[in-house]
Chains A and B, each alone.
Chain A
Amino acid sequence: MNDWSRIAPQLLDATGETLYMVGVATALTVLLGVPLGVLLTITAPGALAPHPLVNRVLGLVVNLGRSLPFIILLVLVAPVTRGIVGTTIGSTATIVPLTIGAVPFLARLVETSLREVAHGKVEATLAMGARRRDVVRTVLLPEALPSLVAGVTVTVVALISYSAMAGAIGGGGLGDFAIRYGYQQFRTDITLATVVLLLVVVQLLQWAGDRWARRLATS
């Protein structure tokens, strides 16, 4: 039981891996999820650029991604992961399913945020002679920014939970660590330690995200 001097550095490494996976996956998710959310919003009936077919197809894809349990998604996208990263084991490989799982999630949140922007603001801007892309760039996204930041925070927290699940199939990070050392070696204290670490990470991120969103909303 006094092997913590050996375990602590490994725990730290695992935390680093989790942050790495979640960090890169978040960046990719924002890069893909925000444009997808914008498309979902503006192609809706009565919106800026109504396009029923595109809207329905995108909605279907997003719903498919959202309804799939993440553990199933992990297995399903394994061939894709191997194609991109070359392996399905380890934290870099886990970034692929993490991103694929989180993009539809964020896209829906982005859609909800953008729909909250009063239509009158869009109209006032169109009345100035704005192009539709100017409306997205100068009205929809800036006006929804506090809500978008809150959405990204929720997504990051979901990504941490996904990343821990990826540990079940050798994805690296804290989840992996908890399973290999805590569960398989009957070390409840190690499991607890990882849970506490995850909780701290989630709390810190949520606090930072809330603060940022609030600052944007009141500045």
Chain B
Amino acid sequence: MIELSDVRKVFPARRTAGEVVALDGVSLSVARGEFAGVVGPSGSGKSTLARLVNLLERPTSGTVTVDGRVLTDLDAAGVREARRSIGMIFQHFNLLDSRTAAGNVEHPLELAGVGRTERRRRVADLLDLVGLADRHASRPAQLSGGQKQRVAIARALAARPSVLLCDEATSALDPASTTGVLELLRQVRAELGLTVLLITHEMSVVRAVCDSAVLMSEGRVVDGGPLAEVLARPDSALAAQLVPAPAGSGVGGDLVLVTVTDATPHGAVLQTLTAELGLSVEVVGGSVETVAGRRFGRLLLRVEGDDGRLDPALARLRAGGALVERAAAGDPRPQSDADDTPRPDREPDVQRLADAPDVQR
């Protein structure tokens, strides 16, 4: 549905800053109906990525394809036409203060030349869909953050898009509003069969709604895939951020890190260590989260009384499908270099995203 192919975006040098490579050869594919997340620290290029999908930002090179149309090959009129099928919501909502909630939702319909009666009916339906039927006459200034984002969602859906882009859509909201907005996004995705690309720096948002995600760093995709698959990879940098490994500092004995998923429960590991080997096992850290509707966690175990049989036992467990490994005391796992994505050599003097002027716009 959304296809980015080897996309580069370079912001030319300005008086105050050198050349900025915001995206450095990114390829990304989102299937129809998928709820895909893009995560990464600020300045990693994720917002630029979202803005490329509807060509608010034109890539320096590479192609952008949405719903089978190669947007980068279209002329201005073609791009305008294509944008109607790509809804977008923003961190700061970007509603027009001069219009009511209903007027804001009506705006894209006016631009598309929809007749007045049809517009009215559609606006009423949309405000009903987002749960704000009673606030149609309110101005944005009279609405809470969560309500504003709901109006923005209704507006983004007005022209019946097939794709919805969410650029840090919950980053300006309190936790309760965030939950409400995320539930609404899931609901409209299911009801309207939307493909959603969600940009965020909040891992909790990805855990709550995404089917798949990519991790960006310095303008590149460094890890990604369906969450169930990503989380089952013990060395995944994205998994390490989604469910951080517990720290085992100041703990003696042998440390064993168990990755718990629906497919690889920890029961078998505990069974082997305690009953079979007769070791004393204690949980010293861990977290279990529900990610994409599945259970996922990491447990750090302290094992005492190893007589040399621990390593063979762990190897046997691994061979049996369990995600288990030894962890070093102090820093159980290095997180940043965990990805094994090959990185081609870069020009060392090109300034990277530290002070990219356009990233936060």
- A contact residues vs B (CB 8 Å cutoff): 118-121, 123-131, 134, 138-139, 142-143, 145
Contact = CB atoms under 8 A, between A and B. Distances in A.
A96 B200 CA distance: 57
Nearest to A123: B56
A131 B86 CA distance: 16
A123 B112 CA distance: 17
A127 B56 contact: yes
A120 to B, nearest CB: 4
A138 B56 contact: no
Contacts of B56: 123, 126-127
A127 B81 contact: no
B88 A127 contact: yes
Contacts of A120: 90, 92, 94
B20 to A, nearest CB: 15
B121 interface: no
A142 B80 contact: no
Main secondary structure of the interface of A (DSSP, over half): helix
B220 interface: no
A189 to B, nearest CB: 49
B98 interface: yes
Contacts of B80: 129-131
Contacts of B112: 129
Given A118-B94, A138-B111, 5 more contacts: A120-B94, A124-B90, A126-B83, A127-B88, A138-B110
Contacts of A131: 80
A143 B95 CA distance: 10
B94 A129 contact: no
B96 interface: yes
B224 to A, nearest CB: 25
- For the complex of A and B, the 10 pairs showing the least CB-CB separation, nearest first, are A124-B94, A129-B83, A120-B94, A128-B108, A142-B98, A129-B84, A129-B80, A127-B88, A130-B111, A121-B94
B54 interface: yes
A139 B96 contact: yes
Contacts of A129: 80-84, 108, 111-112, 159
A141 to B, nearest CB: 9
Contact of A127 (B86, B95, B98, B99): B86
Contacts of A123: 56, 90, 94
A125 B82 CA distance: 14
B98 A145 contact: yes
A17 B82 CA distance: 56
A125 B107 CA distance: 8
Contacts of A119: 361
A129 B87 CA distance: 10
B304 interface: no
A119 B96 CA distance: 11
Nearest to B141: A218
Interface in B301-338: none
B111 A134 contact: yes
Q: Which of A125, A127, A142 has the largest number of chain B CB atoms within 10 A?
A: A127
B229 interface: no
A143 B103 CA distance: 13
Interface string B135-173: 000000000000000001000000100000100000000
A143 B56 CA distance: 21
Nearest to A131: B80
Contacts of A128: 83-84, 107-108, 111, 159
B97 interface: yes
A47 to B, nearest CB: 13
Contacts of B96: 121, 139, 142-143
B98 A143 contact: yes
15 contacts: A121-B95, A123-B56, A123-B94, A124-B95, A125-B107, A127-B165, A128-B107, A128-B159, A129-B81, A129-B159, A131-B80, A139-B96, A142-B96, A143-B97, A143-B98
Q: Which of A123, A142, A145 has the largest number of chain B CB atoms within 10 A?
A: A123
Contacts of A139: 96
A42 B361 CA distance: 18
A118 B98 CA distance: 13
A127 B83 contact: yes
A142 B95 CA distance: 13
Given A138-B107, A138-B110, A127 B92 contact: no
B97 A124 contact: no
Nearest to A139: B96
Given A129-B111, A138-B110, A124 B98 contact: no
Nearest to B85: A129
A21 to B, nearest CB: 33
Nearest to A132: B76
A46 B86 CA distance: 23
B195 to A, nearest CB: 16
Q: Which of B81, B99, B111 has the largest number of chain A CB atoms within 10 A?
A: B111
Contacts of B82: 129
A124 B98 CA distance: 15
Nearest to B77: A131
A182 B23 CA distance: 73
A138 B155 CA distance: 15
B107 A127 contact: no
